[in-house]
Structure 1
Amino acid sequence: MKFADRIQRFQANVFADMDQAKRQALDTGQSLIDLSLGSSDLPVAAPILETISQSLQDPSTHGYLLFHGTRSFREAVAAWYEQRFGLSVDPETEVLPLIGSQEGTAHLPLAILNPGDIALLQDPGYPSHAGGVYLAGGEMYGMPLLAENQFLPVFSEIPTEVRQKARMMVLSYPHNPTTAIAPLSFFQEAVQFCQDHDLVLVHDFPYVDFVFSEQKMPSILQADRHRQCSIEFFTFSKSYSMGGFRIGFAVGNADLITSLRKIKAIVDFNQYLGILNGAVTALKTSDAELQQTLSIFQKRRDVFVTALAKIGWVIPKPTATMYIWAPLPEPWQQQSVEFCKQLVLQTGVAASPGAGFGPAGEGYVRFALVQDPDTLNTAVDRIDSFLHT
């Protein structure tokens, strides 16, 4: 049996290896504390569930859902962008429902890249960003994100020969895994760079509500108000704890939306209408309710970072996201995969190795704050025993 060459890009997968290590830990009797996946443990809000429940009783929602049947959802997205960012968006030509933002980042390269074209991606970055490029036959150039640069790429350091072959750039702030945030001035610089080099600018925006300060995160479209080169993806998985419902959207340049819609039409119909109705309710969630969710994760962040400091692992408190991006202690600095494997096998605490997010992620480990404070304290106790025995 022969398989396509493109599948070879996906043979090695750090996260599949970690999943196997978690299974081995369970098989040996370890009680698992899984801090490896950014899947919120919080319940979906009752009004959202009630809207979906009511939709289930309506047989007219049970069939295929084509684009024009999503208009109410698209109008709600446009209203949310205007309320949130002061941006006027055309729901007919500039909004597209998605089955999570990962669908967008995985499928858009099929509409942008020809074989051999280059995509400029963050290193470290979310793995599906690279996966979509490889599926399209493209090549990846990793823009290193370094602590000394506040985990922002330096566009002037991209080689000329790379710029000449590049067709798209993917950014994501607040950033997974580094927890960094970016100001509007950085996005303005990115937009100018992409316009100067005829690049599509993609912004993956799942953590817009996960910022532990008064600072509001800008949309990439605030830096590209005429939407000349940009598209932005949002998911309901984080802010509204709807990961299992697989619902998101794209907003941006009308030609990019049309191209992605063509790809989507080949791959799938739309999400179930009842889930879109629930998402409309979610977009009407008050700032106070969103703040309650943020407060829960801020408390978890404080508990976890404080507990780590008590065992000698001192890490600055992250300003955003639901993660801790921790430089590894000695003697593990360049062994993130082995550190995470041994940690889960010996203690049951599962984390994500930095190397799984790209070469520049080596030397770090990512912990997801998806457990209650008592469980996080227990996890740190186990980490302490692992590091000091």
Structure 2
Amino acid sequence: MEFAQRLERLRGNVFADMDAAKARAKARGKEIIDLSLGSSDLPAGDHVLKAIETSLYDPSTHGYALFQSTQPFREAVATWFEGKYGVSVNPETEVLTLIGCQEGTAHLPLALLDPGDLALLQDPSYPSHQGGIHLAGGEIYWLPTLAENQFLPVFEEIPPEVRERAKMMVLSYPHNPTTALAPLSFFEEAVQFCQDHSIALVHDFPYGDMVFSGAPPAPSVLQADRQKEASIEFFTFSKSYNMGGFRIAFAVGNQDLILGLRQVKAVVDFNQYRGILNGAIAALTGPQESIQNTVDTFEQRRNVFVNALNRIGWEVPKPNATMYLWAKLPDTWQGRAMEFGIKLVEATGVAVAPGSGFGKAGEGYVRMALVRDADKLEEAATKIAAFLQQSSS
């Protein structure tokens, strides 16, 4: 059977490769301490679950949910957004329900790019960002996102011919995988750059609340583009509200970009079960203390795990945001991030995400998610120490 050529560019996936390695380790009896995925182990709020439970017994929620059915949710989003970021949005034209941020970043290129068109992506970046470009037949110009520049791309280094060809640029801060934060001044620069060159600015913003004590709040790109002339931003309930499995998110921004994404969605899917939308409304409008509790939990885990890794001789910086560590591999493993990840899980059951899976600039790093309790993170560090000792002998 012959398949479309576009599949060739989708065959490599860091999460799929590590999933296969985890399965092999589990089959050999290893207990898996899975730090490779950013899937929170914390529960959704009781008021959220109650709203969904109540909806289950309401037959009016059991049918298809077309765009108009999402109006209460979009109105809740608009109210929440203005209260949090001080930017007003129109729930009819500037808000769109999504089945996760990944759906939005993967589908939007189909609305913006024709085959051969150019997109600007960070290197490293979350894998679905490039997957959507490949599906649309677009080409990628990689923006180096490196430690020496505080993991911020340098727009002045983009060649003039690339600036003129580019149709979209995707940014994401707090950044996955590097954990970096970007100040509002950076977004002001990005907005101006995109306006000057007629480029759509796409901001993937799943970790907006996941900022630890002592660090400044993470700004929305729409605080730098209050008229929404060039920008669209993606939010998810997976991190702040621990609702990853519910697959609920939304886009806010430029009405033309929202409409284009909505047109793509219309031929791909309807929306979520309305009970999930009701749960999401409860999350936005109900008590918000759980967000700080979640952030505090991940900050405490960060401290435990970084200290444990430092004790075994692996110097890892403390991130200011997200739910990850971005750790530079020991010298003996430089250039072999995928090999390190596979051999580590097969030998110890500890699974991490090789940095090379996020782009060429990610080679030499691994990303470790803080999605297990402190005791398990301590155990993971002990097992990593044994693996490093054995592999160096």
Question: Scaled by the length of structure 1, what TM-score is found?
Answer: 0.99
Q: Distance in 2 between matches of 1:117 and 1:329?
A: 39
Within 5 A, what are the aligned runs for 1:39-50? Answer: 39-50=39-50
CA drift of 1:3 comes to 1.1
Q: Note the alpha carbon deviations across 1:9-41, whole angstroms, 9 max, x for none.
A: 112223222111111111111111000000000
Task: Give 5+ residue unaligned stretches, structure 2.
Answer: none
1:331 aligned counterpart, secondary structure: helix
- Corresponding position of 1:385: 386
1:90 aligned counterpart, secondary structure: coil
- Corresponding position of 2:358: 357
Q: Distance in 1 between matches of 2:32 and 2:96?
A: 38
- Corresponding position of 1:158: 158
Structure 1 residue 231 and structure 2 residue 248: aligned? Answer: no
Q: Note the alpha carbon deviations across 1:147-169, whole angstroms, 9 max, x for none.
A: 01000000111122222211000
1:74 aligned counterpart, secondary structure: helix
Structure 1 residue 87 and structure 2 residue 87: aligned? Answer: yes
- Corresponding position of 1:55: 55
Moved more, 132-141 or 159-168: 159-168
CA drift of 1:286 comes to 3.5
Structure 1 residue 309 and structure 2 residue 310: aligned? Answer: yes
- Corresponding position of 1:34: 34
- Corresponding position of 1:70: 70
Q: Note the alpha carbon deviations across 1:25-80, whole angstroms, 9 max, x for none.
A: 11111111000000000011110000000001000000011111111100000001
Q: Distance in 1 between matches of 2:262 and 2:316?
A: 43
Q: Note the alpha carbon deviations across 1:129-155, whole angstroms, 9 max, x for none.
A: 000000000011110111010000001
1:169 aligned counterpart, secondary structure: strand
One-letter amino acid matched to 1:204: D
1:131 aligned counterpart, secondary structure: helix
Q: Distance in 2 between matches of 1:179 and 1:298?
A: 13
Q: Distance in 2 between matches of 1:101 and 1:165?
A: 26
- Corresponding position of 1:122: 122
- Corresponding position of 1:319: 320
Q: Distance in 1 between matches of 2:250 and 2:289?
A: 23
Q: Is the 8 A contact 2:211 2:322 kept in 1?
A: yes
CA drift of 1:287 comes to 4.0
One-letter amino acid matched to 1:65: A
Q: What RMSD, in angstroms, separates the aligned Cα atoms of the two structures? A: 0.8
- Corresponding position of 1:190: 190
Q: Distance in 1 between matches of 2:16 and 2:74?
A: 36
Q: Distance in 1 between matches of 2:211 and 2:218?
A: 8
One-letter amino acid matched to 2:45: A
Q: Distance in 1 between matches of 2:66 and 2:289?
A: 34
Distance 1:63 1:287, change over 3 A: closer
- Corresponding position of 1:274: 275
Q: Distance in 1 between matches of 2:270 and 2:202?
A: 23
CA drift of 1:255 comes to 0.7
CA drift of 1:285 comes to 4.1
Q: Note the alpha carbon deviations across 1:316-364, whole angstroms, 9 max, x for none.
A: 1000000000000120011100000110011000000000000000000
CA drift of 1:388 comes to 1.1
Q: Distance in 2 between matches of 1:361 and 1:381?
A: 25
Q: Distance in 2 between matches of 1:216 and 1:298?
A: 15
Moved more, 278-287 or 153-162: 278-287
One-letter amino acid matched to 1:261: R
CA drift of 1:114 comes to 0.8
2:201 aligned counterpart, secondary structure: strand
Q: Note the alpha carbon deviations across 1:202-253, whole angstroms, 9 max, x for none.
A: 0000001100035211110010000001000001011111111000000000
One-letter amino acid matched to 1:136: A
Q: Distance in 1 between matches of 2:103 and 2:294?
A: 25
1:365 aligned counterpart, secondary structure: strand
Moved more, 93-102 or 11-20: 11-20
Task: Give 5+ residue unaligned stretches, structure 1.
Answer: none
Moved more, 169-178 or 17-26: 17-26
Question: Scaled by the length of structure 2, what TM-score is found?
Answer: 0.98
